[in-house]
Structure 1
Amino acid sequence: MSRSKAREEKSRLIINTALKVFSEKGYDNATIADIAKSAKVSMGLPLYYFTNKEELACEALEISSEQITLSILNDIAGNSPEEIATSFINSFRKNMNRYPDFYPFYFEMWSASRRNKKIKKVFKTALDNTINTTKSVLINAQEKGLITVRVEDVESIAVSLVSKADGLGLLLVQYPELFENENMWKIDMKMWLSVLQDRTKD
């Protein structure tokens, strides 16, 4: 393995471990020592890659948010509002299983951003990127005639969909049993369709 590849893997290990530790202990309570112990590395290694806990948290937030956003939005496909909505819901559920620590970490970072200016800036940038990526997906689908939304409504729809996904993520963290509630997902589908199909154009 090349030295650069090894460095990349160690950095990724530290970031992924930090995400888990922050989600479990909270940003304020977690320490670099906690992260090093959980990653089974020397205490000095996280500080070799990151200046301090704040920088590590910001890097974890930036990378994990982008990873989740792209994973979900890259899965969105279909030739109708129904197919597009179904692909989103299926991808969202898949990613909740694949990255179970993400939303606990994400909301912990939101809480920390209320007290930390740097984390606040990174959190807002991550949120902006998610909204903008969602807008691009909607515009592409609209231009292809796959959904019937007005161009002037795209930004508001993107904000609504992102806030809905984040709210659902928070709900499922608190009530994981709802994940298997198929009726809830059916209602979620109806809500998606009500947004993606502009009945004023019929």
Structure 2
Amino acid sequence: MTREEQKEERKKAILMTALTLFVEKGYHETKVADIAAAVPMSTGLMFHYFKSKEELLMALVVMGKEFTKATAGGDNIPPDVFLKGMLDELFLYAQKDPFVANMFVLMAQARRAGMPEDVRKVAMSVSSVDDTAKLIKKGQKEGIFRKGNPKLLALCFWSAFQGIMEEMTIDKKLGVPDSEWLLSILKGN
């Protein structure tokens, strides 16, 4: 392994460790020394990779924002088929790797008051609800989804998903639901 590959591996280990600790302990309760000890590395060496805990949080939130771009699209796919496929993939990945559930939880935490304002701004710019509302509106026109405010329906849909991800971070053995259960929020069956 080259020196550059080793550096990237260490950076990834810091990010994944911080993600887990931020979700389990909370951002404010997690100390830089906690992250360094869990990696393991010295605190001084960790500052070589990230200048501050806030910079580390920002890197994770930017990563999470990129991750949520999967919610956009589906232009040439029936909305229910697109959303089912997206849910199936997310649930599959969440079962294989705690990163997925942890990232959803962290992104929700990052939106809350009291988080660093620049981080919060990035987290608030995620458009999953708006992207899904567009799909719902299209599905309503096609008679696939129930009537109602598309944005509120999207919010119900994503809130249910978020709750499942939060439970998966608490109960590591928890299975995932059938994606049709979440789609029934939109279909009304």
TM-score, normalised to structure 1's length?
Answer: 0.66
- Residue 131 of structure 2 corresponds to 134
Higher normalized helix content (fraction of residues)? 1
Alpha-carbon contact 1:22-1:108 (below 8 Å) kept: no
Alpha-carbon contact 1:85-1:193 (below 8 Å) kept: no
Alpha-carbon contact 1:89-1:189 (below 8 Å) kept: no
Please give the root-mean-square deviation of Cα atoms over the aligned residues, in Å.
Answer: 3.7
Query: Is 1:114 matched up with 2:113?
Result: yes
Q: CA deviation at 1:18?
A: 0.5
- Residue 92 of structure 2 corresponds to 94
Alpha-carbon contact 2:74-2:82 (below 8 Å) kept: yes
Please state whether the residue corresponding to 2:101 is helix, strand or coil. Answer: coil
Q: Provide, for residues 143-167 of structure 1, a one-character-per-residue CA deviation record: whole Å limited to 9, x for no partner.
A: xxx9847xxxxxx846853663244
Q: CA deviation at 1:193?
A: 4.4
Alpha-carbon contact 1:17-1:35 (below 8 Å) kept: yes
- How many residue pairs match? The answer is 176
In structure 1, distance between residues paired with 2:44 and 2:182: 46
- Residues 1:9 and 1:134: Cα distance change in structure 2 (over 3 Å): farther
Q: Provide, for residues 61-82 of structure 1, a one-character-per-residue CA deviation record: whole Å limited to 9, x for no partner.
A: 2213322x14x43896973233
5+ residue gaps, structure 1, are 150-155, 195-202
In structure 1, distance between residues paired with 2:184 and 2:160: 17
In structure 2, distance between residues paired with 1:190 and 1:162: 14
Q: CA deviation at 1:90?
A: 0.7
In structure 1, distance between residues paired with 2:186 and 2:86: 9
Counting only pairs closer than 5 Å after superposition, residues 12-27 of structure 1 correspond to structure 2 as 12-27=12-27
Please state whether the residue corresponding to 1:54 is helix, strand or coil. Answer: helix
Percentage identity across paired residues of the two chains: 20
Counting only pairs closer than 5 Å after superposition, residues 22-101 of structure 1 correspond to structure 2 as 22-67=22-67, 69-70=68-69, 72-73=70-71, 79-97=77-95, 98=97, 99-101=100-102
- Residues 1:126 and 1:105: Cα distance change in structure 2 (over 3 Å): closer
Query: Is 1:169 matched up with 2:170?
Result: no
In structure 1, distance between residues paired with 2:175 and 2:75: 22
Q: Provide, for residues 51-103 of structure 1, a one-character-per-residue CA deviation record: whole Å limited to 9, x for no partner.
A: 21122112112213322x14x43896973233223212212312432323223
5+ residue gaps, structure 2, are 143-148
Question: What amino acid is the match of 1:106?
Answer: M
Query: Is 1:9 matched up with 2:9?
Result: yes
In structure 1, distance between residues paired with 2:90 and 2:74: 10
TM-score, normalised to structure 2's length?
Answer: 0.69
In structure 1, distance between residues paired with 2:8 and 2:140: 40
- Residue 185 of structure 2 corresponds to 191
